[in-house]
Amino acid sequence: MTSPTRLESLRHAVPSDVERSPSGFGIDAVEPALAFSPDDRNEVAALLRAADEAGVVVVPQGGRTALSLGRPLQRYDVALETRGLQRIVEYVPDDLTLTVEAGIHLEALQQTLREHGQYLPIDPPPDDHVSIGGLLATARSGAWRGHLPAARDLLLGAVVASPTGQLESSGGRVVKNVTGYDMHRMHTGALGAFGVIVEASFKVAPLPPVTRTLAARADTIAEAGALAMRLWNASLAARAISILAPETAERIGLEASPTVLIELAGLEVSVDRSTQIIREANPRADEPAGTPWERLRRLHGDRVAAVVRFGVPSSDVIGAIEAARGAGCIAWGHIASGAVIGHAPSLDAASVQRLRAHATERGGFLQLESGSRGLRAAVDPFGPGEVDLVRSLKARFDARGTLNRGRWMEGV
């Protein structure tokens, strides 16, 4: 346990009204000694500097929806909530560019954008309060990926508070820019290993005038896979083409058949023409009742269950769905990105390893996106990857292991 005097210096770093009660900031059933909710980036920097000097471990957190991503923390002293950083710094609708503070909730942002007929094309579960910082730090994606760019490709630049208390920016606010190293790309998906994102600039997109969801039922999963592949190659005005195993379809309120679920988005004429193409390919395609996409997203975002994400070549999506079913998962896949999600109340380490082997044999990967503390300690959530360079970066950007220590590997 950390000595109280070492922690005391953090209290002096920021105004007292920034401190919060640590209860409610638990992660994997560990409560921190202190919690803060700074109001601005300078306070974030000051807290980090104080923590770095004191040798304690800080965990930045936004919406707290993805704290079971990564290995269990090695240590957890201080919670740093980013919710106070919620300003829209600059929004120029005519440029389709946006700069925000990193604690802002996605939904709040979307509301502002919607007023101008625009949106940030990212699709986490609708009822989750995800923060922009958390969204970037996790770099997950859903059904739209592959049809639309991922958050990392929408990000134009960022400002990050370093563990030594510096504010460091990279990129910019213009839609095309190759000035300097893209540090913001290093921070994207890094689970806060190298700094706390305090500001981010994005390119946003016009809202599609029309969206329409179609469900096309097939007799077998293989047939659904072939149909999805065919539709992917038909240049539809589609934002998602996903394959659902029968039990998955049932789980989200559809008929229990192998299903291709398609979301069309675009001009009305393009959506109509796309609908026609889909019906020609599968006369049984219809517009389903209910909210299948929302329910699918919620399953993906389930923090209690074990959730794995395969990345495989599109032609192997069906194989990965079958493998995940074999391990007892509810499974579905997105044809354009090759992502296959497996969801189960729990999984054991051996099954995860088997599924990972399935993915890597096909040139892909498997990431454990959520799971019990024990499972995440027993299997590396990320799988094999370059270690030396990651350690070397950590040594340069967070030499004392102040941020999220252990999320990636021992010390990192």
Partner 1 sequence: MPTTASPALIEALQRAVGSQHVLHAPEDLIAYEYDATIDRARPDAVLFPATAEQVAAVVRAANQYDVPVIPRGSGTGLSGGTVPVKGGVVVALTRMNRIVEVDAVNRVAVVEPGVVNLQLQEALAPLRLAWAPDPSSQRICTVGGNIANNSGGPHTLAHGSTVNHVLGLEVVVSDGRVINLGGRVLDAPGIDLRGLFVGSEGTLGIVTQATIRLVPAAPDVRTMLAIFDSVDEASAAVSAIIRNGVIPVALEMLDQEIIKLVEPRIHAGYPLDAGAVLLIEVEGLSEGVAVEADAVIEACRACGAREVRSADTQPARDKLWEGRKVGIGAIGAAAPAFYLLDGVVPRTKLPQVMRRVLELSAQYGFKCANIFHAGDGNLHPNIMFDPQEEGATQRVLDLGGEIMRLCVDVGGSITGEHGIGLEKRSYMEWVFSPPDLAAMERVRLAFGSADRFNPCKILPGGHGCATGHADELARHIAKPGVYI
Ligand X SMILES: Cc1cc2nc3c(=O)[nH]c(=O)nc-3n(C[C@H](O)[C@H](O)[C@H](O)COP(=O)(O)OP(=O)(O)OC[C@H]3O[C@@H](n4cnc5c(N)ncnc54)[C@H](O)[C@@H]3O)c2cc1C
Tell me which residues in 208-267 interact with partner 1 (CB under 8 A). Answer: 209, 229, 233, 235-237, 266-267
Residue with tokens 């030396």: 388
Please choose which of ligand X, partner 1, none residue 131 contacts, taking the beta carbon within 5 to 8 angstroms, the exact cut-off set by kind.
Answer: ligand X
Structure tokens at 245: 């195993």
Q: Which of these, 127, 202, 193, lies nearest to 160 by C-alpha position?
A: 193
Binding to partner 1 by residue 172, rule CB under 8 A? yes
Measure the CA–CA gap between 313 and 336, rounded to whole angstroms: 9
Pattern 284-303, ligand X, x by CB under 6 A? -------------x--xx--
Q: What is the number of other CB atoms lying within 10 angstroms of the CB of residue 76?
A: 23
CA-to-CA dists, residue 48 to 19, 96, 169, 175, angstroms? 14, 33, 17, 31
Binding to partner 1 by residue 269, rule CB under 8 A? yes
Structure tokens at 82: 């980013």
Q: What is the DSSP letter of 116?
A: T
Minimal distance in Å, beta carbon 382 to partner 1?
Answer: 4
Binding to partner 1 by residue 357, rule CB under 8 A? no
Measure the CA–CA gap between 385 and 359, rounded to whole angstroms: 14
Binding to partner 1 by residue 333, rule CB under 8 A? no
Beta-strand (E) ranges in 184-251?
A: 196-203, 205-206, 210-217, 238-244
Binding to partner 1 by residue 270, rule CB under 8 A? yes
Which residue from 2, 42, 74, 169 is in contact with partner 1, where contact means CB under 8 A? 169
Q: Which of these, 119, 88, 83, lies nearest to 101 by C-alpha position?
A: 88
Binding to ligand X by residue 371, rule CB under 6 A? no
Half-sphere exposure of 48 (CA within 13 A, CB side): 33
Pattern 146-165, ligand X, x by CB under 6 A? -----x--------------
Q: Which is nearer to partner 1, 193 or 261 (CB)?
A: 193
For strand 58-61 and strand 78-81, is the pairing parallel, antiparallel, or unpaired? Answer: parallel
Q: Which is nearer to partner 1, 36 or 397 (CB)?
A: 397
Q: Which is nearer to ligand X, 100 or 312 (CB)?
A: 100
Which of these segments, 59-67, 145-153, 289-297, 370-378, binds partner 1 (CB under 8 A)? 145-153
Please choose which of partner 1, ligand X, none residue 199 contacts, taking the beta carbon within 5 to 8 angstroms, the exact cut-off set by kind.
Answer: none
Please choose which of partner 1, ligand X, none residue 404 contacts, taking the beta carbon within 5 to 8 angstroms, the exact cut-off set by kind.
Answer: ligand X
Please choose which of partner 1, ligand X, none residue 188 contacts, taking the beta carbon within 5 to 8 angstroms, the exact cut-off set by kind.
Answer: partner 1
Binding to partner 1 by residue 397, rule CB under 8 A? yes
Q: What is the DSSP letter of 316?
A: G
Residue 9: is it exposed, middle or buried by C-beta count within 10 angstroms (0-12/13-18/19+)?
Answer: middle
Q: Which is nearer to ligand X, 63 or 401 (CB)?
A: 63
Which residue from 37, 82, 131, 141 is in contact with partner 1, where contact means CB under 8 A? 141
Q: Which is nearer to partner 1, 50 or 183 (CB)?
A: 183
Number of residues in the chain = 412
Q: Which of these, 39, 190, 177, 172, lies nearest to 98 by C-alpha position?
A: 172
Measure the CA–CA gap between 188 and 291, rounded to whole angstroms: 30
- Count of residues of this chain found to bind partner 1 when the rule CB under 8 A is applied: 81
Please choose which of ligand X, partner 1, none residue 137 contacts, taking the beta carbon within 5 to 8 angstroms, the exact cut-off set by kind.
Answer: ligand X
Read off the amino acid at residue 155.
Answer: L
* List of residues contacting ligand X (CB under 6 A): 59-67, 82, 102, 122-125, 130-131, 133-135, 137-142, 151, 191-192, 196-197, 297, 300-301, 404
